[in-house]
Structure 1
Amino acid sequence: MAVNEEFLKDRVDTLFGTAFNEREGRVVPTTPDVALKDGAVKINATFLYTDLAGSAKLSSVCPWSTTAKIIRAFLDCSTRLIVKHGGEIRSFDGDRVMGVFIGDAKNSNAAICGREIHWVVRKIISPKARSKFDSVKNNDIQIRNCSGIDTGEVRAVRSGIRDNNDLIWIGKAASFAAKLSDVRDTGYHTYVSSRVYNKLNANAKQDADGDSAWSSTTFSFAGTTETVYKSNHWKKP
Protein backbone atom coordinates (compact mmCIF):
# COMPACT_ATOMS: atom_id res chain seq x y z
CA MET A 1 0.00 0.00 0.00
CA ALA A 2 1.42 3.36 -1.05
CA VAL A 3 1.99 5.81 1.77
CA ASN A 4 0.92 8.92 -0.13
CA GLU A 5 -1.17 12.02 0.50
CA GLU A 6 -4.55 10.31 0.23
CA PHE A 7 -3.52 7.40 2.42
CA LEU A 8 -2.18 9.71 5.12
CA LYS A 9 -5.33 11.85 5.02
CA ASP A 10 -7.40 8.72 5.54
CA ARG A 11 -5.22 7.65 8.46
CA VAL A 12 -5.56 11.02 10.18
CA ASP A 13 -9.34 10.95 9.67
CA THR A 14 -9.49 7.44 11.12
CA LEU A 15 -7.38 8.35 14.14
CA PHE A 16 -9.28 11.58 14.77
CA GLY A 17 -12.54 9.63 14.64
CA THR A 18 -11.48 6.90 17.06
CA ALA A 19 -13.51 6.56 20.27
CA PHE A 20 -11.19 5.34 23.03
CA ASN A 21 -12.09 2.25 25.02
CA GLU A 22 -10.92 3.50 28.42
CA ARG A 23 -10.45 1.36 31.50
CA GLU A 24 -9.14 1.92 35.02
CA GLY A 25 -5.61 0.68 35.66
CA ARG A 26 -4.47 -0.81 38.95
CA VAL A 27 -0.91 -1.47 37.81
CA VAL A 28 1.40 0.53 35.57
CA PRO A 29 0.51 -0.70 32.06
CA THR A 30 3.01 -2.05 29.59
CA THR A 31 2.69 -1.58 25.85
CA PRO A 32 0.93 -4.94 25.23
CA ASP A 33 -1.64 -4.10 27.93
CA VAL A 34 -3.12 -1.30 25.80
CA ALA A 35 -4.91 -1.97 22.52
CA LEU A 36 -3.24 -0.19 19.61
CA LYS A 37 -6.56 0.49 17.88
CA ASP A 38 -8.47 2.27 20.67
CA GLY A 39 -7.08 1.39 24.09
CA ALA A 40 -6.62 3.83 26.97
CA VAL A 41 -5.69 3.06 30.57
CA LYS A 42 -6.36 5.64 33.28
CA ILE A 43 -4.10 5.59 36.33
CA ASN A 44 -3.21 7.91 39.17
CA ALA A 45 0.56 7.91 39.23
CA THR A 46 3.71 9.82 40.05
CA PHE A 47 6.20 10.37 37.26
CA LEU A 48 9.94 10.80 37.68
CA TYR A 49 12.08 11.91 34.76
CA THR A 50 15.81 12.13 35.32
CA ASP A 51 18.06 13.69 32.72
CA LEU A 52 21.85 13.85 32.39
CA ALA A 53 22.86 17.50 32.06
CA GLY A 54 25.49 18.58 29.57
CA SER A 55 25.58 15.45 27.45
CA ALA A 56 25.94 17.58 24.31
CA LYS A 57 29.28 18.86 25.62
CA LEU A 58 30.30 15.33 26.49
CA SER A 59 29.63 14.29 22.91
CA SER A 60 31.52 17.25 21.48
CA VAL A 61 34.79 16.88 23.43
CA CYS A 62 34.93 13.22 24.47
CA PRO A 63 35.42 10.07 22.39
CA TRP A 64 32.08 8.52 21.54
CA SER A 65 32.91 5.50 23.69
CA THR A 66 33.52 7.69 26.74
CA THR A 67 30.19 9.46 26.24
CA ALA A 68 28.44 6.12 25.83
CA LYS A 69 30.00 4.71 29.00
CA ILE A 70 28.97 7.73 31.10
CA ILE A 71 25.40 7.76 29.78
CA ARG A 72 25.12 4.00 30.29
CA ALA A 73 26.37 4.33 33.87
CA PHE A 74 23.86 7.11 34.58
CA LEU A 75 20.92 5.21 33.09
CA ASP A 76 21.95 1.94 34.74
CA CYS A 77 22.19 3.47 38.22
CA SER A 78 19.04 5.57 37.78
CA THR A 79 17.03 2.60 36.57
CA ARG A 80 18.15 0.44 39.48
CA LEU A 81 17.21 3.13 42.00
CA ILE A 82 13.80 3.67 40.40
CA VAL A 83 13.08 -0.06 40.61
CA LYS A 84 14.45 -0.18 44.18
CA HIS A 85 11.85 2.39 45.21
CA GLY A 86 8.96 0.60 43.55
CA GLY A 87 8.89 2.46 40.26
CA GLU A 88 8.32 0.96 36.82
CA ILE A 89 10.51 1.97 33.88
CA ARG A 90 8.45 2.93 30.86
CA SER A 91 10.64 5.11 28.66
CA PHE A 92 14.21 5.85 27.66
CA ASP A 93 14.96 8.91 25.56
CA GLY A 94 18.63 9.48 24.84
CA ASP A 95 20.17 10.29 28.22
CA ARG A 96 16.84 10.43 30.06
CA VAL A 97 14.75 7.75 31.75
CA MET A 98 11.15 7.88 33.01
CA GLY A 99 9.89 5.99 36.03
CA VAL A 100 6.23 5.59 37.02
CA PHE A 101 5.25 5.09 40.66
CA ILE A 102 1.87 4.04 42.03
CA GLY A 103 0.60 3.17 45.50
CA ASP A 104 0.16 5.03 48.77
CA ALA A 105 3.81 6.09 49.10
CA LYS A 106 4.40 6.91 45.43
CA ASN A 107 5.30 10.57 46.01
CA SER A 108 7.74 9.97 48.86
CA ASN A 109 9.31 7.04 47.04
CA ALA A 110 9.86 9.10 43.90
CA ALA A 111 11.25 12.11 45.81
CA ILE A 112 13.71 9.99 47.78
CA CYS A 113 14.69 8.22 44.58
CA GLY A 114 15.44 11.56 42.90
CA ARG A 115 17.71 12.60 45.76
CA GLU A 116 19.50 9.24 45.67
CA ILE A 117 20.12 9.60 41.93
CA HIS A 118 21.66 13.00 42.69
CA TRP A 119 23.97 11.35 45.26
CA VAL A 120 25.09 8.66 42.81
CA VAL A 121 25.87 11.23 40.11
CA ARG A 122 27.86 13.48 42.45
CA LYS A 123 29.55 10.86 44.62
CA ILE A 124 30.17 7.98 42.22
CA ILE A 125 29.70 8.70 38.52
CA SER A 126 31.29 12.16 38.38
CA PRO A 127 34.47 11.44 40.37
CA LYS A 128 35.03 8.08 38.70
CA ALA A 129 34.60 9.64 35.25
CA ARG A 130 37.11 12.39 36.05
CA SER A 131 39.56 9.80 37.34
CA LYS A 132 39.25 7.39 34.43
CA PHE A 133 38.74 9.61 31.37
CA ASP A 134 41.27 12.31 30.48
CA SER A 135 38.78 13.96 28.12
CA VAL A 136 36.47 14.61 31.10
CA LYS A 137 39.24 15.81 33.42
CA ASN A 138 41.10 17.95 30.87
CA ASN A 139 37.95 19.72 29.70
CA ASP A 140 36.70 20.26 33.27
CA ILE A 141 33.38 18.61 32.47
CA GLN A 142 30.94 18.67 35.38
CA ILE A 143 28.70 15.62 35.23
CA ARG A 144 25.34 16.57 36.71
CA ASN A 145 21.69 15.56 36.41
CA CYS A 146 18.21 16.85 37.16
CA SER A 147 15.14 14.90 38.22
CA GLY A 148 11.60 16.24 37.83
CA ILE A 149 8.62 14.71 39.63
CA ASP A 150 4.86 15.32 39.41
CA THR A 151 1.74 13.35 40.25
CA GLY A 152 -1.80 13.13 38.97
CA GLU A 153 -4.29 11.33 36.76
CA VAL A 154 -2.97 10.30 33.36
CA ARG A 155 -4.02 8.10 30.46
CA ALA A 156 -1.69 5.66 28.75
CA VAL A 157 -2.51 5.22 25.08
CA ARG A 158 -0.63 3.36 22.38
CA SER A 159 0.72 5.19 19.36
CA GLY A 160 2.45 4.13 16.16
CA ILE A 161 1.86 1.24 13.77
CA ARG A 162 2.04 -2.53 14.04
CA ASP A 163 5.49 -3.68 15.19
CA ASN A 164 6.52 -0.02 15.61
CA ASN A 165 4.63 1.47 18.54
CA ASP A 166 4.86 2.44 22.19
CA LEU A 167 2.88 4.00 25.00
CA ILE A 168 2.38 7.74 25.24
CA TRP A 169 1.24 9.36 28.46
CA ILE A 170 -1.53 11.95 28.32
CA GLY A 171 -1.84 14.24 31.31
CA LYS A 172 -0.11 17.06 33.10
CA ALA A 173 1.86 14.89 35.53
CA ALA A 174 3.98 13.30 32.83
CA SER A 175 4.63 16.45 30.82
CA PHE A 176 5.31 18.64 33.87
CA ALA A 177 7.76 16.15 35.34
CA ALA A 178 9.58 16.04 32.01
CA LYS A 179 9.84 19.84 31.92
CA LEU A 180 11.15 19.99 35.47
CA SER A 181 13.93 17.56 34.56
CA ASP A 182 15.17 20.14 32.04
CA VAL A 183 15.83 22.78 34.73
CA ARG A 184 19.47 23.80 35.07
CA ASP A 185 19.90 25.67 38.37
CA THR A 186 23.34 25.29 39.90
CA GLY A 187 23.26 23.19 43.03
CA TYR A 188 19.65 22.02 42.71
CA HIS A 189 19.08 18.64 41.09
CA THR A 190 15.69 17.37 42.28
CA TYR A 191 12.42 19.19 41.62
CA VAL A 192 8.89 18.21 42.72
CA SER A 193 5.56 19.86 42.08
CA SER A 194 3.54 21.25 44.97
CA ARG A 195 1.16 18.32 44.45
CA VAL A 196 4.01 15.93 45.23
CA TYR A 197 5.52 18.02 48.04
CA ASN A 198 2.23 18.28 49.92
CA LYS A 199 2.02 14.47 50.10
CA LEU A 200 5.60 13.74 51.18
CA ASN A 201 6.17 11.94 54.44
CA ALA A 202 8.63 13.31 57.00
CA ASN A 203 11.51 11.15 55.78
CA ALA A 204 11.15 12.48 52.25
CA LYS A 205 10.89 16.10 53.41
CA GLN A 206 13.94 16.11 55.69
CA ASP A 207 17.68 15.95 55.20
CA ALA A 208 20.05 13.80 57.26
CA ASP A 209 19.97 16.33 60.11
CA GLY A 210 16.18 16.50 60.26
CA ASP A 211 16.00 19.91 58.60
CA SER A 212 13.94 20.66 55.50
CA ALA A 213 15.55 19.31 52.33
CA TRP A 214 13.41 21.51 50.07
CA SER A 215 12.91 25.17 49.23
CA SER A 216 10.07 26.65 47.21
CA THR A 217 10.38 28.47 43.92
CA THR A 218 8.19 29.17 40.90
CA PHE A 219 8.16 27.66 37.44
CA SER A 220 6.28 28.71 34.31
CA PHE A 221 4.42 25.94 32.50
CA ALA A 222 1.76 26.08 29.79
CA GLY A 223 1.04 29.75 30.42
CA THR A 224 0.69 29.48 34.19
CA THR A 225 3.04 29.93 37.15
CA GLU A 226 3.48 26.87 39.36
CA THR A 227 4.95 26.62 42.84
CA VAL A 228 7.55 23.88 42.88
CA TYR A 229 10.05 22.65 45.44
CA LYS A 230 13.72 22.11 44.71
CA SER A 231 16.38 20.26 46.68
CA ASN A 232 20.15 20.45 46.79
CA HIS A 233 20.24 17.70 49.43
CA TRP A 234 21.27 14.37 48.01
CA LYS A 235 20.53 11.16 49.90
CA LYS A 236 22.87 8.20 50.15
CA PRO A 237 21.12 5.00 48.95
Structure 2
Amino acid sequence: MASESFLKDRVETLFRTEFDQRDGRVVPTTEDVVLKNGAVKIDAAFLYADLAGSAKLSKACPWSTTAKIIRAFLDCSTRLIIKHGGHVRSFDGDRVMGVFIGDSKNSNASICGREIHWSVRKIIQPAATKQFKSISDNGIEIRNCSGIDVGNVRAVRSGVRNSNDLIWIGKAASFSAKLSDVRDGAYCTYISSRTYNKLSKEAKFGAEGKNMWEARSFDFADETETVYRSNNWKMP
Protein backbone atom coordinates (compact mmCIF):
# COMPACT_ATOMS: atom_id res chain seq x y z
CA MET A 1 0.00 0.00 0.00
CA ALA A 2 1.05 3.60 -0.62
CA SER A 3 -2.01 5.68 0.21
CA GLU A 4 -1.78 9.00 2.03
CA SER A 5 -2.87 7.56 5.37
CA PHE A 6 -0.54 4.56 5.07
CA LEU A 7 2.45 6.73 4.21
CA LYS A 8 1.69 9.06 7.14
CA ASP A 9 1.61 6.07 9.48
CA ARG A 10 4.90 4.79 8.09
CA VAL A 11 6.63 8.14 8.56
CA GLU A 12 5.35 8.41 12.13
CA THR A 13 6.54 4.88 12.86
CA LEU A 14 9.98 5.55 11.40
CA PHE A 15 10.34 8.81 13.29
CA ARG A 16 9.50 7.06 16.58
CA THR A 17 11.91 4.19 15.99
CA GLU A 18 14.88 3.95 18.37
CA PHE A 19 17.97 2.54 16.70
CA ASP A 20 19.69 -0.52 18.12
CA GLN A 21 23.28 0.52 17.48
CA ARG A 22 26.35 -1.69 17.77
CA ASP A 23 30.03 -1.15 17.06
CA GLY A 24 31.26 -2.85 13.90
CA ARG A 25 34.58 -4.64 13.59
CA VAL A 26 34.15 -5.29 9.87
CA VAL A 27 32.50 -3.34 7.06
CA PRO A 28 28.86 -4.46 7.21
CA THR A 29 26.84 -5.81 4.32
CA THR A 30 23.12 -5.22 3.92
CA GLU A 31 22.33 -8.55 5.57
CA ASP A 32 24.39 -7.58 8.65
CA VAL A 33 22.05 -4.72 9.56
CA VAL A 34 18.49 -5.23 10.80
CA LEU A 35 15.99 -3.46 8.54
CA LYS A 36 13.64 -2.49 11.37
CA ASN A 37 16.03 -0.52 13.57
CA GLY A 38 19.62 -1.69 13.09
CA ALA A 39 22.66 0.58 12.98
CA VAL A 40 26.34 -0.33 12.82
CA LYS A 41 28.99 2.22 13.80
CA ILE A 42 32.40 1.98 12.13
CA ASP A 43 35.51 4.14 11.96
CA ALA A 44 36.38 4.07 8.28
CA ALA A 45 37.87 5.89 5.32
CA PHE A 46 35.40 6.39 2.48
CA LEU A 47 36.49 6.65 -1.14
CA TYR A 48 34.14 7.79 -3.88
CA ALA A 49 35.49 7.41 -7.42
CA ASP A 50 33.47 9.33 -10.00
CA LEU A 51 33.81 9.37 -13.79
CA ALA A 52 33.83 12.96 -15.01
CA GLY A 53 31.88 14.16 -18.02
CA SER A 54 29.62 11.18 -18.55
CA ALA A 55 26.89 13.52 -19.84
CA LYS A 56 29.27 14.66 -22.59
CA LEU A 57 30.05 11.03 -23.37
CA SER A 58 26.35 10.28 -23.73
CA LYS A 59 25.88 13.26 -26.04
CA ALA A 60 28.84 12.59 -28.33
CA CYS A 61 29.00 8.80 -28.34
CA PRO A 62 26.71 5.87 -29.14
CA TRP A 63 25.09 4.48 -26.02
CA SER A 64 27.12 1.30 -26.30
CA THR A 65 30.39 3.25 -26.28
CA THR A 66 29.34 5.21 -23.21
CA ALA A 67 28.30 1.99 -21.47
CA LYS A 68 31.61 0.30 -22.26
CA ILE A 69 33.65 3.22 -20.94
CA ILE A 70 31.63 3.44 -17.72
CA ARG A 71 31.92 -0.33 -17.26
CA ALA A 72 35.68 -0.15 -17.79
CA PHE A 73 36.01 2.66 -15.24
CA LEU A 74 33.93 0.86 -12.62
CA ASP A 75 35.73 -2.43 -13.29
CA CYS A 76 39.18 -0.89 -12.79
CA SER A 77 38.07 1.15 -9.77
CA THR A 78 36.41 -1.81 -8.08
CA ARG A 79 39.42 -4.06 -8.58
CA LEU A 80 41.78 -1.42 -7.19
CA ILE A 81 39.56 -0.80 -4.16
CA ILE A 82 39.59 -4.51 -3.38
CA LYS A 83 43.34 -4.73 -4.03
CA HIS A 84 43.97 -2.14 -1.32
CA GLY A 85 41.76 -3.85 1.24
CA GLY A 86 38.63 -1.80 0.63
CA HIS A 87 35.07 -3.06 0.50
CA VAL A 88 32.77 -1.97 -2.32
CA ARG A 89 29.39 -1.06 -0.91
CA SER A 90 27.65 1.16 -3.45
CA PHE A 91 27.35 1.88 -7.16
CA ASP A 92 25.57 5.03 -8.30
CA GLY A 93 25.54 5.49 -12.05
CA ASP A 94 29.18 6.12 -12.97
CA ARG A 95 30.39 6.29 -9.36
CA VAL A 96 31.56 3.64 -6.92
CA MET A 97 32.08 3.82 -3.15
CA GLY A 98 34.77 1.91 -1.27
CA VAL A 99 35.04 1.58 2.51
CA PHE A 100 38.42 1.03 4.19
CA ILE A 101 39.03 0.09 7.82
CA GLY A 102 42.12 -0.74 9.87
CA ASP A 103 45.28 1.11 10.83
CA SER A 104 46.31 1.87 7.23
CA LYS A 105 42.88 2.85 5.92
CA ASN A 106 43.80 6.44 5.04
CA SER A 107 46.99 5.56 3.20
CA ASN A 108 45.37 2.61 1.44
CA ALA A 109 42.45 4.72 0.24
CA SER A 110 44.65 7.59 -0.97
CA ILE A 111 47.02 5.29 -2.87
CA CYS A 112 43.98 3.57 -4.37
CA GLY A 113 42.66 6.93 -5.56
CA ARG A 114 45.94 7.74 -7.27
CA GLU A 115 46.00 4.33 -8.94
CA ILE A 116 42.45 4.84 -10.22
CA HIS A 117 43.66 8.14 -11.72
CA TRP A 118 46.53 6.27 -13.43
CA SER A 119 44.20 3.60 -14.81
CA VAL A 120 41.97 6.27 -16.37
CA ARG A 121 44.83 8.20 -17.97
CA LYS A 122 47.12 5.34 -18.96
CA ILE A 123 44.73 2.48 -19.76
CA ILE A 124 41.14 3.61 -20.34
CA GLN A 125 41.86 6.82 -22.29
CA PRO A 126 44.33 5.30 -24.79
CA ALA A 127 42.19 2.21 -25.30
CA ALA A 128 39.02 4.25 -25.82
CA THR A 129 40.74 6.63 -28.26
CA LYS A 130 42.01 3.67 -30.27
CA GLN A 131 38.77 1.66 -30.17
CA PHE A 132 36.02 4.26 -30.54
CA LYS A 133 35.78 6.74 -33.41
CA SER A 134 33.40 8.96 -31.44
CA ILE A 135 36.10 9.45 -28.80
CA SER A 136 38.96 10.19 -31.20
CA ASP A 137 36.91 12.36 -33.59
CA ASN A 138 35.53 14.52 -30.79
CA GLY A 139 38.79 14.77 -28.86
CA ILE A 140 37.09 13.54 -25.70
CA GLU A 141 39.31 13.37 -22.63
CA ILE A 142 38.20 10.76 -20.12
CA ARG A 143 38.78 11.98 -16.59
CA ASN A 144 37.76 11.11 -13.05
CA CYS A 145 37.94 12.35 -9.50
CA SER A 146 38.28 10.39 -6.26
CA GLY A 147 37.25 11.94 -2.93
CA ILE A 148 38.35 10.53 0.43
CA ASP A 149 37.47 11.32 4.05
CA VAL A 150 37.64 9.41 7.33
CA GLY A 151 35.57 9.29 10.50
CA ASN A 152 32.81 7.56 12.42
CA VAL A 153 29.88 6.60 10.22
CA ARG A 154 26.70 4.62 10.89
CA ALA A 155 25.41 2.07 8.43
CA VAL A 156 21.61 1.98 8.46
CA ARG A 157 19.36 -0.19 6.33
CA SER A 158 16.68 1.68 4.43
CA GLY A 159 13.83 0.76 2.11
CA VAL A 160 11.21 -1.96 2.31
CA ARG A 161 11.33 -5.73 2.37
CA ASN A 162 13.00 -7.12 -0.77
CA SER A 163 13.85 -3.56 -1.90
CA ASN A 164 16.40 -2.06 0.47
CA ASP A 165 20.05 -1.21 0.88
CA LEU A 166 22.49 0.38 3.31
CA ILE A 167 22.73 4.13 3.72
CA TRP A 168 25.78 5.67 5.36
CA ILE A 169 25.21 8.41 7.91
CA GLY A 170 28.13 10.63 8.80
CA LYS A 171 30.38 13.38 7.48
CA ALA A 172 33.05 11.04 6.09
CA ALA A 173 30.57 9.50 3.66
CA SER A 174 28.96 12.75 2.53
CA PHE A 175 32.19 14.77 2.38
CA SER A 176 34.08 12.19 0.33
CA ALA A 177 31.16 12.06 -2.10
CA LYS A 178 31.26 15.84 -2.42
CA LEU A 179 35.01 15.84 -3.05
CA SER A 180 34.55 13.36 -5.90
CA ASP A 181 32.44 16.00 -7.67
CA VAL A 182 35.41 18.38 -8.00
CA ARG A 183 36.55 19.05 -11.56
CA ASP A 184 39.96 20.70 -11.46
CA GLY A 185 42.06 19.85 -14.50
CA ALA A 186 44.80 17.35 -13.75
CA TYR A 187 44.00 17.14 -10.04
CA CYS A 188 41.99 13.95 -9.72
CA THR A 189 42.45 12.86 -6.09
CA TYR A 190 41.12 14.93 -3.19
CA ILE A 191 41.41 14.03 0.50
CA SER A 192 40.27 15.69 3.71
CA SER A 193 42.74 17.08 6.25
CA ARG A 194 41.68 14.25 8.56
CA THR A 195 42.88 11.75 5.98
CA TYR A 196 46.01 13.73 5.10
CA ASN A 197 47.14 13.90 8.73
CA LYS A 198 47.14 10.09 8.95
CA LEU A 199 48.99 9.32 5.72
CA SER A 200 52.11 7.19 5.77
CA LYS A 201 55.32 8.56 4.26
CA GLU A 202 54.77 6.37 1.20
CA ALA A 203 51.32 7.84 0.65
CA LYS A 204 52.39 11.44 1.29
CA PHE A 205 55.81 11.85 -0.32
CA GLY A 206 57.09 11.02 -3.78
CA ALA A 207 60.52 10.98 -5.36
CA GLU A 208 63.22 12.89 -3.48
CA GLY A 209 60.87 13.42 -0.57
CA LYS A 210 58.57 15.84 -2.38
CA ASN A 211 55.08 16.19 -0.92
CA MET A 212 52.56 14.99 -3.51
CA TRP A 213 49.65 16.92 -1.95
CA GLU A 214 48.64 20.58 -2.11
CA ALA A 215 46.42 22.26 0.46
CA ARG A 216 43.28 24.04 -0.73
CA SER A 217 40.18 25.57 0.86
CA PHE A 218 36.85 23.89 0.25
CA ASP A 219 33.36 24.99 1.31
CA PHE A 220 31.06 22.31 2.69
CA ALA A 221 27.91 22.55 4.80
CA ASP A 222 28.41 26.26 5.52
CA GLU A 223 31.99 25.70 6.70
CA THR A 224 35.39 26.11 5.06
CA GLU A 225 37.56 23.01 5.20
CA THR A 226 41.20 22.45 4.34
CA VAL A 227 41.52 19.68 1.79
CA TYR A 228 44.47 18.30 -0.13
CA ARG A 229 44.64 17.58 -3.84
CA SER A 230 47.11 15.58 -5.92
CA ASN A 231 47.85 15.22 -9.61
CA ASN A 232 50.40 12.48 -8.91
CA TRP A 233 48.99 9.26 -10.26
CA LYS A 234 50.52 5.91 -9.33
CA MET A 235 50.95 2.80 -11.44
CA PRO A 236 49.37 -0.21 -9.68
- The residue identity in structure 1 corresponding to 2:127 is K
Alignment-derived partner of residue 50 in structure 2: 51
Aligned to 1:215: 214
Q: Distance in 1 between matches of 2:143 and 2:81?
A: 18
Question: 1:93 deviation in Å?
Answer: 0.2
What's 2:181 paired with? 182
Taking the TM superposition and a 5 Å limit, the aligned residue runs for 1:106-125 are: 106-125=105-124
Identity over aligned pairs, percent: 72
- TM-score, L = length of structure 1: 0.99
Which residue of structure 1 aligns with residue 231 of structure 2? Answer: 232
Q: 2:134 matched to which residue of 1?
A: 135
Compute the displacement of 1:209 (Å).
4.3
Q: Does structure 1 residue 200 correspond to structure 2 residue 199?
A: yes
Where structure 1 has 5 or more consecutive residues not aligned to the other structure, the ranges are none
Structure 2 residues not aligned, in runs of 5+? none
Moved >4 Å (runs of 4+): none
- 2:58 & 2:91 partners in 1: Cα distance? 18
Q: 1:103: which partner in 2?
A: 102
For 1:147 and 1:123, how far apart are their aligned partners in 2?
Answer: 16
> Partners in 1 of 2:74 and 2:200 — Cα distance?
27
Give the superposition deviation at 1:208: 3.9
TM-score (norm 2): 0.99
- Aligned-partner SS, 1:27: coil
Q: Distance in 2 between matches of 1:114 and 1:11?
A: 40
RMSD: 0.6
Match of 2:78 in 1: 79
Q: For residue 162 of structure 1, what is the amino acid of its counterpart?
A: R
Compared with structure 1, are the counterparts of its residues 38 and 70 closer, same or farther at alpha carbon in structure 2 (3 Å cutoff)? same
In 1, Cα distance between the equivalents of 2:112 and 2:77?
A: 8
- The residue aligned with 2:20 is 21
SS of equivalent to 2:209: coil
Distance 2:40 2:227 in 1: 28
**When the two structures are aligned, how many residues end up with a matched partner?**
236
Could you tell me how far 1:15 is from its partner in structure 2? 0.3
